[in-house]
Structures are given as structure tokens and as C-alpha cells.
């Protein structure tokens, strides 16, 4: 370990310890704490101390202060003996947990603030990590993922969609769902309903497939394209389908089609296969369509007015599903793993120093990930090698390039935790 890395770890461990001295015994433990396994990721050794179990918060707090870890986790599972090896724990069930992370969402901001560094030649570039270094061809590449308002807003939008799925499609009660900001680039949703705890990994995969619309057949959701009763021959067909107020995927598919027609621009409609004339007509009539279709989708428009082909119709449906499903935007492994360790709420995230913050379901839209999770007060001078802009509450700092600067302590911790700055005494 080089001297700068040691400086960072010493500073972060000292700062985290000061925070936990004031907060360790007021942390809210998970339900059935004595049936959970706990794990602690150590700063210097980068190893997980796990298979720990506690009967109450005091003993947990004592070990937390003793170890002062970078990250704290607990099991989504309930066990008879959580302190034993995995095959001896005695699985009793698991919460249903979802992880929505900006890492899984393609946002243009990543090209400006994410970085990769070749461990061989030290080539450093902005943007998505390649399979091999573009300079020397080496395959071992370190990635530095950043966080900004844009990518966290995208993650928030997906979490809102997931929340609505669980309420509308699965009938989960508000008091059986708990939402958290991870302290880094995403959000977690914990479903603690006892009726779901005994689901195995295959049953949980079925829920994931439903959310991602894997294997969805639109024609089994009330859509129909066939001969019209108006015409005697079969050359004319008519599209009929569900309405936006229908339950489940029927209504979701209808809402997706409504969004395709009322939100996409001309180039996007052309990309779906609409003719220039049809795309222009959609745009001209958009205000009328929005008004009329808000009460009932007029499926006949697709053929009577826009003369779409079967290929265009398939494109429209695929786009509608893409807009309303959660396409690859949840970490499916987290949901299907019945022995998963998940970050403990109100503990610090070792990648940022931000708190993993508990949220009410109705708070998410107004939640500011660069305000409420701030854990530290005071100032700290740092030397920053290179880093994008950061925001701490209402203040913006950077971008930075080889400079010494005094920052709010939370901003300094974030840069140090990201490995782009060192503390200056």
C-alpha cells in the first residue's frame, strides 16, 4: 500500500469512528435482529468479517466501534443460528429485496464523470470501462464510478416505477415495504411481508421476470389484431386492446403505447418505422390525441390514420414495454439470492461517506441524495488530483485538477473515499 492510500484509510477510519461514537447506539436495527447475520467490511484489509450475530443493539454497537469498518451489512435472510457457517445456519426465510442502481442505467453523464485506469500502463480515460486498455491492451482495468444529480435521478425514476409495481400489481401494503438510499449510486427496496419470506430463488426469479417483462406476450394482455367486423374480406384488420385503467400488464402496456404516441419526437417515430407523413400527422394531432386517448385509447388510429404495418406495430409494442418495464435496471442477483447481505440503513457508505438513508415511500420524489444523507459537519483541506464537480447540499465545488482546497467535511470525505484526494493537515 502506498503512502497516499494509507493516508486516505487513516483519515476515513478516524472520521467514521467519530461519527459512530455519536450514532452507533441510536442506529435502528433490522427486524428480528437476533435472526440476522451481520458483516463488516474492513478498511485496511478489505476483507469481510461476517457470520456475526447479536441479541441486541448494544453488543452490535460495541463491535462496530471496535472494528470501525468501511461498510456494514446484514442478511436479508432469517436464520436459527446466524453465527454459524452457511450450511449450519438453518434458513427460516428471507425478505424480498431490490437494488436499483445507476450502474445499470445508461445515462449520458457517465461519459463525462466516470473514469477508468489501466493497472498496467496507468492510461486514464473518461467514460465506460473497455474490455481491454485502448493503449496497451491489458485486461485488468480499475473503474471509478461517480455519482451526480442526473444519474441518481434516473435511479430514482426506476425506484418509483418499482414501488408502483409492488403496490399495484402485487398488492403489497405500505407498511410491508421499506425504502433506502444506498449512500452511493442507487436505492434499495425491502419487502418484509411474511407471506413472501419462504419463496425460493426460482420463485423470486419469476417476480424479476414479471418486472422485466421477460416472456411477455402482448396478445395475452388483451391486445388483438385481426379481421374487422366492418369488412367482409380479411384484407382489412383492426387493432383492439386494453385501456390505461386496466390492472397489471394490460393497463401498463396501454399506458406505454399512449406514451409512445404522445411523447416521442418525429425522429423517434421514424425510427419505429412510421412514414414521414404519419409521423408528421401524429405530431400535428398530438393535442387532440392526448385529450381523446386519456379517456379511451382509439386503437383504430394505427391502421385507419397511420397505416402501420405488422413490423411497425411490433416496434411500437416493444417500445411500449421498454418504457414501462424495468429493463435490466435492477440487480437481479440481489433479488434472487436468499442469503444476500445488504447494506444496513443509517450506516456510512465506504465509497462516499454518505449515510444509507431510510425513506418513507412518499418521500422519494422530494428526496435529495446530496442533502439528507450528509453525515459530517465542519471543514477539511484536501489535495485533489482530478475529479468532476460535486454538490454538497446547495453548494457546488469543482471540477478539480491538481489543487489544494478547503471543502465541507462531507465533500472532502467523498473525494477521499473515491480515491481522488488526500487530506492535508
For the cut 90, the answer to whether the pLDDT of residue 234 exceeds it is no
Least confident range from 26-30, 323-327, 369-373: namely 323-327
- Predicted confidence at residue 227, as pLDDT, reads 57
For the cut 70, the answer to whether the pLDDT of residue 17 exceeds it is yes
Q: Look at domain 378-425 and name its CATH class.
A: alpha beta
As beta bridge partners, residue 342 has 74
Q: For the domain 218-324, what is the CATH code?
A: 1.10.8
pLDDT band at 359 (very low <50, low <70, confident <90, very high): very high
Q: What is the pTM of this model?
A: 0.88
Give me the mean pLDDT over the 300-306 stretch: 91
Q: With pLDDT > 70 as the criterion, what percentage of the chain qualifies?
A: 96
Q: What is the pLDDT of residues 384-397, one digit of tens each?
A: 998 999 999 999 99
For the cut 80, the answer to whether the pLDDT of residue 1 exceeds it is no
- Predicted confidence at residue 229, as pLDDT, reads 46
For the cut 50, the answer to whether the pLDDT of residue 405 exceeds it is yes
Q: What is the pLDDT of residues 203-230, one digit of tens each?
A: 999 999 999 999 899 888 888 776 544 3
For the cut 60, the answer to whether the pLDDT of residue 399 exceeds it is yes
Cα 114 off chain centre by: 17
CATH architecture of 3-104+151-208+330-375: Alpha-Beta Complex (3.90)
In the chain, where the domains are located: 3-104+151-208+330-375, 110-144, 218-324, 378-425
Instruction: Confirm if 94 and 80 have CB atoms less than 8 A apart.
Output: no
Give the count of beta carbons closer than 10 Å to the beta carbon of residue 72. Answer: 25
- Check for a shared fold between 3-104+151-208+330-375 and 378-425: no
For the cut 70, the answer to whether the pLDDT of residue 233 exceeds it is no
Instruction: Confirm if 152 and 352 have CB atoms less than 8 A apart.
Output: no
For the cut 90, the answer to whether the pLDDT of residue 70 exceeds it is yes
Give the count of beta carbons closer than 10 Å to the beta carbon of residue 195. Answer: 8
Q: What is the pLDDT of residues 122-167, one digit of tens each?
A: 888 888 888 899 889 988 988 888 999 999 999 999 999 999 999 9
Quote the mean pLDDT of the chain.
92
Amino acid at each position: 500500500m502506498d503512502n497516499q492510500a494509507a493516508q486516505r484509510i487513516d483519515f476515513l477510519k478516524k472520521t467514521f469512528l467519530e461519527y459512530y461514537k455519536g450514532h452507533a447506539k441510536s442506529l435502528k436495527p433490522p427486524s428480528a435482529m437476533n435472526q440476522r447475520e451481520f458483516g463488516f467490511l474492513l478498511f485496511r484489509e478489505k476483507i469481510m468479517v461476517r457470520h456475526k450475530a447479536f441479541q441486541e443493539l448494544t453488543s452490535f454497537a460495541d463491535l462496530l466501534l471496535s472494528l470501525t469498518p468501511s461498510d456494514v451489512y446484514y442478511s436479508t435472510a432469517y436464520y436459527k443460528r446466524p453465527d454459524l457457517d452457511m450450511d449450519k445456519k438453518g434458513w427460516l426465510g428471507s425478505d424480498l429485496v431490490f437494488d436499483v442502481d445507476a450502474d445499470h442505467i445508461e445515462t449520458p453523464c457517465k461519459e463525462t464523470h466516470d473514469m477508468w485506469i489501466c493497472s498496467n500502463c496507468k492510461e486514464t480515460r473518461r467514460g465506460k470501462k473497455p474490455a481491454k486498455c485502448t493503449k496497451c491492451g491489458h485486461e485488468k482495468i480499475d473503474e471509478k464510478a461517480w455519482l451526480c444529480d442526473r444519474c441518481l435521478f434516473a435511479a430514482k425514476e426506476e425506484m418509483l416505477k418499482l414501488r408502483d409495481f409492488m403496490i399495484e400489481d402485487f398488492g403489497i401494503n405500505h407498511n410491508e415495504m421499506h425504502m433506502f438510499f444506498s449512500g452511493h449510486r442507487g436505492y434499495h427496496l425491502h419487502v418484509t411481508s411474511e407471506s413472501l419470506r419462504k419463496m425460493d430463488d426460482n420463485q423470486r426469479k419469476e417476480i424479476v421476470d414479471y418486472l422485466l417483462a421477460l416472456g411477455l406476450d402482448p396478445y395475452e394482455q388483451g391486445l388483438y389484431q385481426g379481421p374487422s367486423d366492418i369488412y367482409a374480406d380479411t384484407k382489412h384488420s383492426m387493432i383492439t386492446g386494453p385501456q390505461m385503467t386496466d390492472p397489471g400488464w394490460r393497463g401498463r402496456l396501454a399506458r406505454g403505447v399512449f406514451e409512445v404516441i404522445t411523447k416521442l419526437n418525429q425522429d423517434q417515430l421514424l425510427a419505429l418505422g412510421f412514414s414521414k407523413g404519419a409521423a408528421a400527422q401524429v405530431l400535428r394531432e398530438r393535442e387532440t390525441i392526448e385529450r381523446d386517448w386519456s379517456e379511451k385509447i382509439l386503437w383504430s388510429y394505427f391502421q385507419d390514420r397511420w397505416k402501420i404495418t405488422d413490423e411497425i406495430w411490433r416496434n411500437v409494442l416493444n417500445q411500449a414495454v421498454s418504457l414501462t418495464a424495468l429493463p435490466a435496471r435492477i440487480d437481479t442477483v440481489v433479488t434472487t439470492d436468499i442469503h444476500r447481505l445488504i447494506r444496513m440503513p443509517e450506516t456510512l457508505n465506504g465509497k462516499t461517506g454518505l449515510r444509507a438513508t431510510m425513506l418513507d415511500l412518499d418521500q422519494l420524489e422530494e428526496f435529495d441524495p446530496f442533502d439528507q444523507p450528509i453525515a459530517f459537519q465542519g471543514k477539511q483541506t484536501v489535495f485533489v488530483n482530478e475529479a468532476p464537480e460535486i454538490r454538497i447540499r446547495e453548494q457546488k465545488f469543482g471540477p478539480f485538477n491538481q489543487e489544494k482546497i478547503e471543502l465541507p467535511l462531507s465533500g472532502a470525505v467523498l473525494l477521499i473515499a473515491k480515491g481522488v484526494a488526500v487530506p492535508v493537515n
